[in-house]
Chain A
């Protein structure tokens, strides 16, 4: 493997990668988790089949800066909306939320409207995903 590119904006930042709902496709989530970790972030991965409520609870307990939600089952609209609700209710509305998976372009606007900061599909190069997460976190740190 090539050397990981350390991204200063990610050093010391805590990121939760989560699989909401029943979707069992975890490769994308794991790849992103590994890439963010190698770029300097502290990454926590939930494992499969977590409820929005559980994800919000972990996000608060772990004091994360960002949550990445991975959904490939077509249920992203409901699951992302529910998770954002749970985060708000848990008093964690400052946590940045990213979404990855099989997300039709038509749904991007809906998700951004909910407050999602970045949407990443499988065609996007990993370096770009990491850079985008880093930039968003750098902006919010300021």
Chain B
């Protein structure tokens, strides 16, 4: 099975049906390969072989009994370690939760296993999903499979590297301000951030609740569409999951994109954009034009306010969400505290890493008496303006196309000492998140040095179908290697 590293969902289905391999063989292969090569990129924090084998045996039994196969039958899946997996450690890449074993399965986990998926390992990430380089993991950074001296992006760097490195055909990550799309672009894979409310967050460890979403990574748009179709949809266990029908995304990839109206916002091509990245995106736009799409330059005037808006809102929400790690319920407590206050402050002081602490401090500050109106409320108003830019744009456009990141993957250590510089690198993904839209990063060629570039396709609320159809048509037309 030497082609394991390039398997797609379709090839797995075919192989299971014609008996080339069993699901159990695939699950064993997934675990042994990832374990043996994990030192290369550090994409995984830990593995759950028993769970994968149990899932595989269910698939093999169904196959033997002639029962219909689920859409993910026999597909090895890596899951970001901020998503709950019952009976398996869920650490959020934090010292504080190093030994925490989840009590229950996230809805996305239950759904993908019901569809035949085999979860075999938990992917490394930035601590509590806070970061843009995966250097904030308490258990060591992830390296970019395309260039191992560089970061894979973050915060879902391990999920992206697992797919790019050939360890899993698909994986799950979470995206609050770009944490799926940016690592997908840095590693040269497909990464989807669904519309806010499209996918249940039950069992996702909360970072910024008005922004958090779960989404897939894959090597093809079709595989990402298949996984999204499995995890999407209303969940009574998450009151923020929307009661909106889920279309059959994979079936909707008809390549018929003629006449679709694509907006190209000029603010995303201003100063600060790397010339090579710009060149690749412009080449990508030519591919879409060649497919018959109508490309129009347009404006999203509040784009430049996204970084300030986002880092006020996400830190405020994080400071509230992370208050629960108080040394009472979640495994770790400082030794022999004398008082309750000492137990709280020492457990948290020791347990959280530098970036998480920075965000809790900033978030606590902007919510504190006297500063709430000046910062938090102001940011919520700016957010309304950003969302209104998109609402107006989608009255005239079917999709918006932009770069994902101003530059390709940077070197490990290059930005970690300057938090603001790191935050500014998120400029092209934050607006889409603040407005609650859906966005996908698709590979769009490489720089002269061979570093992957990602093109972002953004669509309006619950319009993943159009976005994925565009991405797939782009892939079929050779856009990934433009």
A and B from one assembly? Answer: no
Task: Give the A-binding residues of B (Cβ under 8 A).
Answer: none
